[in-house]
Copies of this chain bind each other. A is one copy, B any other.
Amino acid sequence: MSNPLDQVFSALADPTRRAILAMLLEDDMAVTDVADPFPMSLAAISKHLSVLAEAGLITQERRGRVKWCKLEPDALRTASVWMQGFGQFGPVDLDGLERFLAAELHGPDLPDPPASFSV
């Protein structure tokens, strides 16, 4: 699965990983802190972070004994460009955003992380 689009899309296909990205949008975080709001083991989150890192969606820098995770939003660009081949999804489609949030918010499953960001 070396294809970068494969990696990016399949990384994004998991709600836990999308939630992690949303958290990192607010600030860089240590692995332990990323794991905190999730109802699963630290090892599981560590694996999720590896997937995100291999897709290029985050980078991880070890400083001391803590490993800092940093969002790399540029990695979304290839995927975004690919999708744009199917129509123009302008950056400010507020209509679509509204419908999307409406559909999503009384939605599922996930824990409770940072709020304000849809998973």
Residues of A within 8 A of B (CB): 2-6, 9-10, 12-15, 18, 21-22, 25, 71, 73-74, 76-91, 93, 96-97, 99-100, 103-104, 107-109, 117-119
Cα-based distance from A67 to B91 in the complex (angstroms): 35
Q: Is the CB of A25 within 8 A of B100?
A: no
Q: Do A6 and B14 form a contact, CB below 8 Å, given A78-B100, A100-B81? A: yes
Q: Is the CB of B12 within 8 A of A86?
A: no
Q: Is the CB of B13 within 8 A of A6?
A: yes
Q: Is the CB of A73 within 8 A of B86?
A: yes
Which of A73, A77, A118 has the largest count of B CB atoms less than 10 A from its CB?
A77
